[in-house]
Amino acid sequence: MRMLASAFDSSDHRDALEAVVLLDEDDNESLALAFAGLSVVRLVCPQMSMGSRVLTCVEHATGEILILANDDLSVRTKGWDSRIRGVAASYPDGVFLLYPDDGFKGATLPTFPIVSKEFFTVCSPEFWRFYQGAFLDVDLFEIFQRLRQSGQQRIHYLGDVLFEHEHYRTGKSAWDDTYARRNRFGDDATFASLVPYRKATAIRLLKQIEGIETPEASAFAIQPRPIPCLGYPFHLLFDRGLPAVWRIRLAAWYFARQLYRAALSVKPAVLRRGARRSAGRSQSG
C-alpha cells in the first residue's frame, strides 16, 4: 500500500496509472488490497518463481509503458510519470530500457526497469520463468548492453527520478520470509546457462529497430548452455557481443559472488568438523 500511495500521490496523470499486483494466496492482509482512485488489477496465485510472477503481471497489464517493481519502494519524485512518458516517447519503436535512481544501486543496475509492452510482444522472454528470485534486472541490462554493442544505445538512466529502494541491506526494512525462503545463489547457474536466450533476444530487438519482420517468438526453441559458475566469468570476458566495460565489471562481480558462496559453504563444514572433534573428546574423557 505504501508503494502505491507514493506513486499515486506524486504522479501527474493519475487517471492513466494501473497497478497490476500479484498476491500470494495465503497473504490474507494483502488480499483485501484496495486503493481509491487507482486502477488495481489483483492477481492471486500460488507460490511461483519471480520470473513467472513478472510475466504473469505483464500478461494482465494494459498499459504501454511497464515498470517492473517490488513493493519495497517509495516514489519520491513529483511528476515522475511525466518524466518517464517524455523519455519513452523518444523511442517510437518501443525498444528502450529506462530506469530511475533507486537510492541504492544508482546508475549501476536497473533495479526497477522500465520497458514497453512491445518489448514483451517482440521478445516473449519466457526463459525468465527459470529465475527464482534474482538476476532479472541483470539479465535485462545485459540484453540492452548487447544492443549497445551493436550500435543501438537504448539504455536511459533517469537520475532525476527517485524510486527509493527500501531494501533490508540499506537498513530501511526488515528481513522477511521472502528473503528467508530464497536461495541467495540459486539463480547464479541459471544466469550463466541462459546466454543463448539473451543473445537471441538482443537480435530480435535489433531487427525491431531496423524494421525487419521477425517470426513469432519461441524462446524455448533455444537450448540453455550449461556453464560452470566458476568458469562463466572467463567465458564472459571473451564475449565480444558485449561492451568491454560491462564484461569486465560483470565478470568481476560474478566471480566475487562465487568466492563468497564458497566461503559460506566452508564455514558450516568447519563447524561440523569442530563439533565432531568436541564430541570425540567428550566421549574419550
Q: Provide DSSP, 226-281.
A: ---TTTHHHHHHT-TTS-HHHHHHHHHHHHHHHHHHHHHHHHHHHHHHHHHHHHHH
Q: Kindly state whether residue 197 falls inside one of the protein's structural domains.
A: yes
Q: Are residues 131 and 270 in the same domain?
A: no
Helices (H) and strands (E) in the chain, counts: 11, 7
**Positive or negative CA dihedral for 52, 135, 177, 70?**
negative
Residue 36 lies in a domain: no
Query: pLDDT tier at 53 (50, 70, 90 boundaries)?
Result: very high
Residue 193 lies in a domain: yes
Instruction: Classify 192 as helix, strand or coil.
Output: helix
Residue 186 lies in a domain: yes
Q: How far apart are CA 125 and CA 8, in angstroms?
A: 29
The answer to whether the beta carbons of residues 185 and 257 sit under 8 Å apart is yes
User: Domain boundary at 195, 227, 259, which?
Assistant: 227
78 plus 211 within the same structural domain: yes
Indicate if 252 and 141 belong to the same structural domain: no
One-letter amino acid of 258? Q
Of 205, 227, 249, which one is at a domain's C-terminal end? Answer: 227
State how far Cα 157 lies from the chain centre: 15
**d(C-alpha 79, C-alpha 87), whole Å:** 13
Range of 267's domain?
228-285
Per-residue pLDDT at 199 exceeds 70:
yes
Residue 77: Cβ within 10 Å count = 18
Q: Is 32 domain-assigned? A: no
Residue 268 makes CB contacts below 8 A (sequence gap 6+) with none
Residue 71 corresponds to which cell in the numbers above? 513493493
> Cβ distance 116 to 66 under 8 Å?
yes
Q: What is the mean pLDDT of the chain?
A: 88
Lowest-confidence region among 203-207, 260-264, 265-269: 265-269
Task: Determine the straight-line distance between the first and last CA of the chain, rounded to whole angstroms.
Answer: 60
pLDDT computed for residue 213 by the predictor: 85
Q: Is the pLDDT of residue 147 over 70?
A: yes
List pLDDT tens digits, range 96-141. Answer: 999 999 999 999 999 999 999 999 999 889 999 999 999 999 999 9
pLDDT in tens, 21-40: 998 877 666 666 678 889 99
Residue 159 sits in the same domain as residue 211:
yes
Q: Residue 97 burial (CB < 10 Å; 0-12/13-18/19+)?
A: buried
Asked whether residue 116 falls in the same domain as residue 242, the answer is no
User: Which of 227, 243, 261 marks a domain boundary?
Assistant: 227
Torsion from C-alpha of 63, 64, 67, 68, nearest 10 degrees:
80
At residue 224, the pLDDT reads 86
Number of domains in the chain: 2
